[in-house]
Amino acid sequence: MAPNSLFDNTETAFQLKSDSELERAYFLFKMISIEPLVKIGSAVTKFALNLNLPVEGLIRSTVFDHFCGGVNERDCMSTVDKLYEVGVSSVLDFSVEGKEEEAQFDATANKVIELTEFAKNKKAMPFSVFKPSGFGRFSVWQKITEKKELSEEETGQWTNIKNRYERVVKVAHDAGISLLIDAEESWMQDAADNLCEEMMEKYNKEAPIVFNTLQCYRWDRLEYLKNLHERAKSKGFKLGFKIVRGAYMEKENERALENGYKTPICESKKATDDNFNEIMRYIMDNLDDIELFIGTHNESSTYLAMDYMKEDGISKSDSRIWFGQLYGMSDHITFNLGSEGYNVAKYIPFGPVKDVMPYLIRRAEENTSVAGQTSRELTLLNKEKARRKL
């Protein structure tokens, strides 16, 4: 069994935080724990940014600097280096969201290519990442998922999306850098899964360069995985999966209710947890065919993964298994895993303040709605503050 106290070590968890950064984190999580404040704060911030009111400075010095690496990749480099010194890798995530213009999608794809080429010579950055909706209009993904006919303009936009995928995946393949593709709302995800599978079939022949994401709050994902695994075996390509629980639960349930279809979300938190752990077990049983990136802040699932590895005689640094947490969250998991020699990475979002706001709002809402997560952060920060006083 893994020692179930590893994550209690706050000295390791917060080793990179100065006293004042520790205070700022405490203040921030305290604010985020107040649900009405998050709701009002999110609305006021959106409004102020739309009106170009001078609120960027305030956002930067609070939520932005806590959850993001900077406004561009250069800002992130000192963080990347500091993390690597203590055994933690980085996944730089250009988190610009909600764009509609083709030129913006091209710019995002070019940014991912630039970072992937840079990562080739930077051991601290073993993965690149992007979101399907960062490469093309959400409505196009949705229409394809819903099997609706595309207009002429949309057909052109779809061709552009496929070309962006092809360019980015080819660069990643040639550089030997694995590419994590995020998962989004279920009503656009089939199109994203299908395109990702095409890329896997073409570029994952020798090694899994392309990783898709399985949102384990969806009850259909284990079956999806098993079917794809069969197909990959028969066609001779490898799979890579990031597994997460999923970030759009409220939206998913609301939409299903409004439109009168069965929600794609598991019936309870326990059902999601079981599904997550079962999918993790399935992949670990098939590591020769499928590589695994475990994206979670859940301590039990992480301890369970460590137990499985130990029981199966898999070394902590086996290159087929990675753990990942978001920058600014669950440092107690990340840094303690790193100090024990596990492969672990932080997702570090970056981008202009206004453009990363949807990401930041999701994080604030997640920390408000995920029972226990904020209070856990506060308890750990308090413990470390007390330890330093001594």
Ligand X SMILES: Cc1cc2nc3c(=O)[nH]c(=O)nc-3n(C[C@H](O)[C@H](O)[C@H](O)COP(=O)(O)OP(=O)(O)OC[C@H]3O[C@@H](n4cnc5c(N)ncnc54)[C@H](O)[C@@H]3O)c2cc1C
Asked if 245 interacts with ligand X (CB under 6 A), we say: yes
| Minimum CB distance to ligand X, residue 244 (Å) | 4
Nearer to ligand X, 2 or 55 (CB): 2
Instruction: Answer yes or no whether residue 112 interacts with ligand X by CB under 6 A.
Output: no
- What contacts 24+ positions apart, CB below 8 Å, involve 115-124? 115/73, 116/168, 116/171, 116/172, 116/175, 116/177, 116/179, 117/171, 117/175, 118/73, 119/175, 119/177, 120/175, 120/176, 120/177, 122/80, 123/84, 124/80, 124/81, 124/83, 124/84, 124/89, 124/90
| 312 touches 259 (CB < 8 A) | no
Shortest approach of ligand X to residue 389 CB, angstroms?
30
381 binding ligand X? (CB under 6 A): no
CA distances from 116 to 181, 263, 289 (A): 13, 37, 24
Q: Find the shortest distance in angstroms from Cβ 48 to ligand X.
A: 26
Residue 62 CB, shortest distance to ligand X, in Å, is 20
DSSP state of 317: T
Question: Mask 174-203, x = binds ligand X (CB under 6 A)?
Answer: --------xx--------------------
**Binding test (CB under 6 A) with ligand X, winner from 12, 178, 212, 215:** 215
| 121 contacts ligand X (rule: CB under 6 A) | no
- Sole binder of ligand X in the list 92, 179, 266, 364 (CB under 6 A): 266
Q: Is 181 exposed, middle or buried (0-12, 13-18, 19+ CB in 10 A)?
A: buried
Which of 106/299 has CB closer to ligand X?
A: 299
Q: How far is the CB of 132 from ligand X (least distance, A)?
A: 10
Q: How far is the CB of 150 from ligand X (least distance, A)?
A: 25
Strand, helix or coil for residue 159: helix
- Residue length of the chain: 390
Query: Which residue stretch of 26-34, 65-73, 211-219, 380-388 sits at the interface with ligand X (rule: CB under 6 A)?
Result: 211-219
> Segment contacting ligand X (CB under 6 A): 41-49, 264-272, 279-287, 381-389?
264-272
From CA 213, how far away is CA 241, in angstroms rounded? 5
Note the maximum CA span of the chain.
68
Nearer residue to ligand X within complex by CB, 12 or 374: 374
Minimum distance between the CB of residue 20 and ligand X, rounded to whole angstroms?
26
Q: How far is CA 131 from the centre of its chain?
A: 9
Told to check if 251 binds ligand X by CB under 6 A, we report no
Scanning the chain, the segments in alpha helix (DSSP H) are: 10-13, 19-32, 35-50, 56-59, 65-67, 73-85, 102-119, 138-145, 152-175, 186-203, 221-235, 249-259, 269-285, 299-311, 331-339, 353-369, 373-389
Q: Which is nearer to ligand X, 80 or 385 (CB)?
A: 80
- How far apart, in whole angstroms, are the C-alpha atoms of residue 294 and residue 242? 6
Q: How many CB atoms lie within 10 A of CB 189?
A: 22
Q: How many residues bind to ligand X according to rule CB under 6 A? A: 27
Segment lying near ligand X (by CB under 6 A), choices 47-55, 108-116, 296-304, 350-358: 296-304
Q: Least CB distance from residue 179 to ligand X, whole Å? A: 13
- Rounded to a whole number of angstroms, the minimum distance from the CB of residue 177 to ligand X is 17
Regarding 298 and contact with ligand X (CB under 6 A), the answer is yes
Best CA proximity match to 265, nearest among 220, 217, 215: 217
User: If binding is defined by CB under 6 A, does position 272 make contact with ligand X?
Assistant: yes
Q: Of the ranges 13-21, 147-155, 171-179, 293-301, which one interacts with ligand X (CB under 6 A)?
A: 293-301
Q: By C-beta, is 326 or 353 nearer to ligand X?
A: 326
Toward ligand X, which CB reaches closer, 101 or 165? 165
Q: How many CB atoms lie within 10 A of CB 182?
A: 21
Within a 10 A sphere around the Cβ of 178, how many other Cβ atoms?
A: 26
Give contact residues for ligand X (rule: CB under 6 A). 182-183, 213, 215, 217, 244-249, 265-266, 268-269, 272, 295-298, 324-326, 347, 366, 370, 373
